[in-house]
Structure 1
């Protein structure tokens, strides 16, 4: 009799736990993170199957492409991390003293793939050990032979079989959209925004790193300060766009823009949980950003 009551008690406890879990998922808008299964390796043949990313790093450096990195002299500090994560086609050669030389992962926008191809030997031979994680809209990344960027990546995988190239899955992209909505209260598509490569990079870093040092990324209030320094949008394009000018244009645009400042306010929220740090430029997650 006691054994039967114990079994019933266990059954009720398990049932209650499942109900609570389902309720939690429902309240979160079904934002279930599929983790590293959302990064699928691109193999030389579409029919050769898929492999998910397997990566874990203790301490990571996320290196922004911002002009703030120019003259920073943080290269050795960056390279001292277990894993170094960079974005798009930001070069290290010629800027080693400021941004370091090592690259463990590159998170790349579909629009930046042509930039990689222009320096093919450098990226896929010199940096052959780098993991490339490419994100893009379904029309470019579809795997039925009609995804132009995906097809290009398959060709690269054939040409450089040592290189590990991963595509961000559609489910993962939708997950990132839902994270943006939960953090801001705004639907990403209805607000006319495109998530930036930085956003996908930070999501990946939060998943694979135990601790994260972010270099070159300003906080959301920086550009509203009257005496803020003017720096180029990219550290490797000295005479082109001003960073804060670019951020303001995108933040105010009604359609087809990245919400750089909004995203940085999201990172501040994440940093308050203790995993993210901003050693250069130094800023605290406790700083209040302007609306």
Structure 2
């Protein structure tokens, strides 16, 4: 074939193939866009719902109120201030009814330990039906949260998700929990598992708050030095359990227990370091740096 004929042959082939190439490129771009839309959100938090197990928690707030469950909230009178903040984060089954003056009434996100799941299920119509505007984020060890049918807490949450399809129920992934362990070790120099400790719900809540919030105001959390002060306040561990153990006594027991405790005081020291690098402030009591 002569060079001129060969050139015309390839030119004709290119012209005929161009529409197909353009269509194929459009399909690739459309598919990539769809995948991005499906995976939009915060890595490490996936929805518990039939057919939506890959859906990520898609939430962002310019300002958040992180309300502690501490007895420090009793008499704080911070309810109106908290309710003016768009995203209010609470923990476990901490109630608002009867405590609105101090802790507010609104809840955007509730972070819940695997050990508190039965308490929510006990009052399931309130948490998963009446409070449908609240997003729930559950954390727990792999033995309780595994998704192969052998995770008892995960199975219970999946049952709630099926029963209340409008409920927004998410789980902290195994990778995210391992990430939180690495954060604890980087900040303290200690391996969390070797110390016999469990990260607290407060730790997971603070990590989530930093993931989803531009600025955070923490209410009712004491600093790591509070319990050593001679003039410290004596309040219950939880504001809604007035006859329970004193907060500082509970913290000391957990800080020094050999196995199964939370390192509350150590975690507070970590939060203090984070507050120098992120927009985090503490009220009731106020932390000074």
TM range (shorter): 0.7 to 0.9
CA offsets 1:82-138 (integer angstroms, 9 cap, x no match)? 100000000011111110000000000000001111222221222111000000000
1:154 match: 158
- Runs of 4+ with deviation above 6 angstroms: none
Structure 1: which 5+ runs fail to align?
A: 1-34, 287-291
2:228 match: 224
Displacement of 1:260 in angstroms is 0.1
Structure 1 position 239 matched with structure 2 position 223: no
Contact 2:46 2:53 in 1 (8 A): no
2:30 match: none
Aligned to 1:166, which of 162, 170, 174?
Answer: 170
Structure 1 position 119 matched with structure 2 position 97: no
1:100 match: 104
Aligned to 1:82, which of 72, 79, 86?
Answer: 86
Aligned to 1:38, which of 27, 37, 44?
Answer: 44
Displacement of 1:48 in angstroms is 5.1
Aligned to 1:91, which of 83, 86, 95?
Answer: 95
Structure 1 position 132 matched with structure 2 position 139: no
Change (3 A) 1:48 1:83: closer
Displacement of 1:206 in angstroms is 0.4
Give distance in 2, aligned partners of 1:126 and 1:171. 32
Contact 2:238 2:247 in 1 (8 A): yes
Give distance in 1, aligned partners of 2:278 and 2:117. 33
Give distance in 2, aligned partners of 1:225 and 1:37. 40
Give distance in 1, aligned partners of 2:270 and 2:137. 22
Give distance in 2, aligned partners of 1:245 and 1:252. 11
Give distance in 1, aligned partners of 2:207 and 2:60. 14
Displacement of 1:49 in angstroms is 3.9
1:266 match: 270
2:5 match: none
Count of matched residue positions in the alignment of Structure 1 and Structure 2: 249
Structure 2: which 5+ runs fail to align?
A: 1-40
Q: What TM-score comes out, normalization by structure 1 length?
A: 0.84
Q: What TM-score comes out, normalization by structure 2 length?
A: 0.84
1:3 match: none
Structure 1 position 210 matched with structure 2 position 214: yes
Give distance in 2, aligned partners of 1:239 and 1:197. 22
Structure 1 position 72 matched with structure 2 position 76: yes
